[in-house]
A and B are shown apart, each in its own frame.
Chain A
Amino acid sequence: GAVVSQHPSWVICKSGTSVKIECRSLDFQATTMFWYRQFPKQSLMLMATSNEGSKATYEQGVEKDKFLINHASLTLSTLTVTSAHPEDSSFYICSARGGTSGGARADTQYFGPGTRLTVL
Chain B
Amino acid sequence: AQTVTQSQPEMSVQEAETVTLSCTYDTSESDYYLFWYKQPPSRQMILVIRQEAYKQQNATENRFSVNFQKAAKSFSLKISDSQLGDAAMYFCAYRSANHAGNMLTFGGGTRLMVKP
Contact = CB atoms under 8 A, between A and B. Distances in A.
A97 B42 contact: no
Contacts of B16: none
Contacts of A105: 50
Contacts of B103: 34, 46, 49
A110 B50 CA distance: 12
A50 B7 CA distance: 31
Given A114-B43, A114-B44, A109 B109 contact: no
Which size bracket describes the interface of A in this complex? 20 to 34
A32 interface: yes
A97 B37 contact: no
A101 interface: no
A34 B102 CA distance: 10
Which size bracket describes the interface of B in this complex? 20 to 34
B47 A97 contact: no
B99 to A, nearest CB: 10
A8 interface: no
Given A44-B91, A111-B37, A97 B43 contact: no
Contacts of A57: 101
Contacts of B46: 111
A27 interface: no
Interface of B: 33, 35, 37, 42-47, 50, 91, 95, 97, 101-104, 106-109
